[in-house]
Structure 1
Amino acid sequence: MSATETAIASAEAHSAHNYHPLPVVVASAEGAWMTDVEGRRYLDLLAGYSALNFGHGNRRLIDAARAQLERVTLTSRAFHHDRFADFCTELAALCGMEMVLPMNTGAEAVETAVKTARKWGYRVKGVPDGMAKIIVASDNFHGRTTTIISFSTDPEARADYGPYTPGFEIVPYGDLTALREAMTENTVAVLIEPIQGEAGVLVPRAGYLPGVRELTRERNVLFIADEIQSGLGRTGKTFALEHEGVVPDMYVLGKALGGGVVPVSAVVSSAGILGVFKPGEHGSTFGGNPLACAVALEVIAMLRTGEYQERAAELGDHLHRELGLLAGGGAVETVRGRGLWAGVDIAPALGTGREISERLMEERVLVKDTHGSTIRIAPPLVISKEDLDWGLDRLRTVLSA
């Protein structure tokens, strides 16, 4: 067997089959390119679901991590360390907020946001104990913990994991009337993705997000924005909500915050909201560790230049213009997205999203499918226009074949 076949066979024999990866085995990567165990190079148009916004092996981030590795990597929150205050201060400033509660993974940050909203509801809003409700949107993807999949509408994510956590109400994404009707005096928060990534990069109609902001203010309800995939430069702005001039009560961040080096996530909000916690009421051994803070501080510094947001906006316009030329020609039905992020609905007659992804892999381009015949395109923000065009040419080749 080849090195690729051997590695895949071993993985399938000894790891749980909770993923169905494409049959490529990556050995190294740099920028927007990955190289497999047999020396073949592939253009990465997935960027780790936005975890690799700054590309593979970004020198600034690797240097920041290496320097911190030589000093201290973990203290737990039992002690202060010299990177923590700067991380919290800088991230709060980037978000226009006051306080930060750091965690590790995106799902942990969403769980933290849920706990924060409930505690705020009981301590500040005055909701009766055990009665807090959080409204979410259909087709959401916020993670895979038991509580989070309890409010998922995706059968694959939800089935066979009950009993489910109560306290959530699901309304159609983009429907302000349904949202208004679902709100009661016990509603403590509305949790939504400004753009639904896993659902196929769904962008709500103009006015929906400002409408959510208006409704939540009127009813004294927290607006929680899950910007784990959409945030930190991906859409051409620091946050996707900025496209409609909306500021939430709480940001949930992850993925790109760790620069593709370490898992870093955070809930960022006001002192009046995150201030509900007292010592011992919530925590994480690794959350806010020195290594994570050092890398995230460099990510924040890079975002402060505006360079990556501008690049995502400029190349994103080019990406959507080129993809738009494919739409309506029989091969592509619909293109959605914003910035360097697109959901492409392939005509079902050409194959499933998985089949198209496999054909693109044969052309040395890596993307990932979602639901049916949809593929997602989300390259690292550092990709060159020439490489992006090369990848789009490969897509045209696959579709024309």
Structure 2
Amino acid sequence: MDKIKREFPILRKCTYLNTAVFGPLYDALIDWRQEHDLDALLHGSDMWDQTLKTLSDTREKIGHFFNCNAENVSLVYNFSLGMNLLLEGLQSKKNVLLLENDYPSVNWPFESRKFKCTTLGLTTDLEERVEEAVKKNNIDVFAFSIVQWLDGFLIDLEFIKRLKRANPDLLIIADGTQFCGAMSFDFKTSGIDVLGVSGYKWLLSGYGNGFMLFADNLENELKVPATGFNAANGNFGNKETMALAKKMEPGHLSSLNFGSLKFSLDFLDSIGLDRINQQNLNLSKKVKESLGSMGLLQEHVVARDFHSTIFNIKGDEKLFNTLLNNDIMCSMRGEGIRISFHFYNGIDDLEHLMKVLKTKS
């Protein structure tokens, strides 16, 4: 792990607890990006065939990494863009269930299109209340972030499987931006119909790349009107026969951006996703115990058996500045201070955080 940590220059200058804002870049990725741009400089349009291969390889890699058929993978520049394209293909008469204070790019696209929205606040028994709301309000669509951006609340994915089995016509749309790359995930068995992800956080891929995964047989449910020559693979004959996933790619895509995503998925694979998953589960447990013992976490977080590696601790701007002054990189979010751990963080990072917090308590 020490060798891996040396790949990240930012880790040498601070205690980096801010992956929920931006996953730091690392030396090997920068080397690849520089080589890519040098090839573009020297070869110009001759790179086109290599660009097409890079994009195809990226779809294949995403499909393998998250267990989704490559033909059901869309490359999008970020989750927000993909979500808005997607909802243009969904009838606004649908009844939608959302979570209160979820990431704005999950909730706002539904609200701006005048869907009939029901919103649930986060509580310890959220899953039970979701199940009740689906039945009571005749919900057609449940849209949510797997991990909540403000406090790291992690929805029970086993519950999502059960919910889908009990309500096969329920369209389940999830944002995995604060989840994918931090913990293991199998899309085909998840019960989720559409998963959207931006790659610049836990997938460590920099800005401008993301993806959407689609379950089979959503063509009738999601009649996305987006179109373009790239969606037709540059073939006039494909104008009327584009698959749903391709409609989300109407224009040309950047081999630098999406090649970076593939490179980082390969990088995470080389470390081992099981190893990353276990490291983050261990970190989550230890951080929760440490912060909970100081009374710094919300009750709906403390009372649950599982959590992500994102936490929101009780504190004001004065405490926030104290953390920054002690070289702890974090963020003000909601009513507190958000910290986030990834596999390259160790117990030493937690100990440093706790030392500063105890000094100020």
* TM-score normalised per structure 2: 0.73
Structure 1: runs of 5+ lacking an equivalent: 1-28, 36-40, 119-128, 153-163
Q: How does 1:182-261 map to 2 (within 5 A)?
A: 182-183=137-138, 187=140, 189-198=141-150, 200-204=151-155, 208-217=159-168, 220-232=169-181, 234=182, 236-238=183-185, 246-254=190-198, 255-256=200-201, 259-261=204-206
Distance 1:382 1:138 in 2: 31
Q: Does 1:392 align with 2:354?
A: yes
Q: 1:247 to 1:67 in 2, by over 3 A?
A: farther
1:31 pairs with 2:5: no
- Aligned residue for 1:106? 79
Q: C-alpha displacement at 1:359, in angstroms? A: 1.7
Q: 1:171 aligns with which of 115, 119, 122?
A: 119
Structure 1 residues 238 and 358: CA distance shift in structure 2, 3 A: farther
Decide whether the 8 Å contact of 1:258 with 1:292 is kept in 2: no
Report deviation, 1:328: 4.3
SS at match of 2:154: coil
Measured after TM superposition, the shift of residue 345 of structure 1 is 3.8
Q: Percent same amino acid at aligned positions? A: 10
Find the aligned partners of 2:312 and 2:32 in 1 and give their Cα distance. Answer: 36
Q: Is the 8 A contact 1:308 1:382 kept in 2?
A: no
Give the structure 2 partner of residue 43 of structure 1. Answer: 15
Looking at structure 2, the residues matched to 68 and 81 of structure 1 have their Cα atoms a distance apart, in angstroms, of: 14
1:58 aligns with 2:61: no
C-alpha RMSD of the superposition: 3.6
2:136 to 178, 181, 185: 181
Cα distance between partner residues in 2 of 1:203 and 1:167: 25
Distance 1:292 1:111, change over 3 A: same
Change in CA separation of 1:361 and 1:100 when aligned onto 2, cut-off 3 Å: same
Paired residue for 1:311? Answer: 276
CA distance in 2 between counterparts of 1:215 and 1:306 reads 37
2:152 is paired with a residue whose SS is coil
**Distance in 2 separating the partners of 1:331 and 1:209:** 29
Larger helix percent: 2
The aligned amino acid for 1:223 is I
Maintained 8 Å contact 1:32/1:43 = no
- Within 5 A, what are the aligned runs for 1:33-182? 33=10, 41-49=13-21, 51-52=22-23, 56-72=24-40, 81-98=52-69, 99-116=72-89, 118=90, 131-143=93-105, 148-149=107-108, 151=110, 164-172=112-120, 174=126, 175=129, 176-182=131-137
Question: Is the CA contact 1:141–1:197 (under 8 Å) kept in the aligned structure 2?
Answer: yes
| Deviation readout 1:360-379 (Å, 9 max, x if unpaired) | 1121112113222x322213
Where 1:166 maps in the other structure, the secondary structure is coil
CA distance in 1, matches of 2:202, 2:293: 37
- Which AA in structure 2 matches 1:46? N
Where do 5+ consecutive residues of structure 2 fail to align?
1-5, 229-246
- 2:203 and 2:310 map into 1 onto residues whose CA distance is 22
| 1:256 to 1:342, Cα distance in 2 relative to 1, 3 A | closer
Alignment partner of 1:360 out of 302, 312, 323: 323
Give secondary structure in 2 for the equivalent of 1:272: coil
With over 3 angstroms needed to count, the CA separation of the structure-2 counterparts of 1:315 and 1:307, relative to structure 1, is same
Partner residue, 2:231: none
Aligned residues between the structures:
317
Contact 1:238 1:303 in 2 (8 A): no
* 1:139 counterpart SS class: coil
> In the aligned structure 1, how far is the partner of 2:154 from the partner of 2:308?
13
Deviations along 1:302-342, one digit per CA (max 9) or x if unpaired, are 33346255235325424532541442445556555967613
After superposition, the C-alpha distances for 1:113-168 in whole angstroms (9 at most, x for unaligned) are: 4335x1xxxxxxxxxx6534443222211428xxx42657xxxxxxxxxxx32124
* 2:208 is aligned with 1:267: no
Distance 2:117 2:153 in 1: 20
Q: Distance in 1 between matches of 2:283 and 2:342?
A: 15
Name the CA distance, whole Å, in 1 between partners of 2:358 and 2:7: 25
Aligned to 1:299: 264
- Shift in Å, 1:194: 1.9
**Alignment partners' CA distance in 2, 1:276 and 1:68:** 36
CA distance in 1, matches of 2:354, 2:171: 41
Contact 1:138 1:170 in 2 (8 A): no
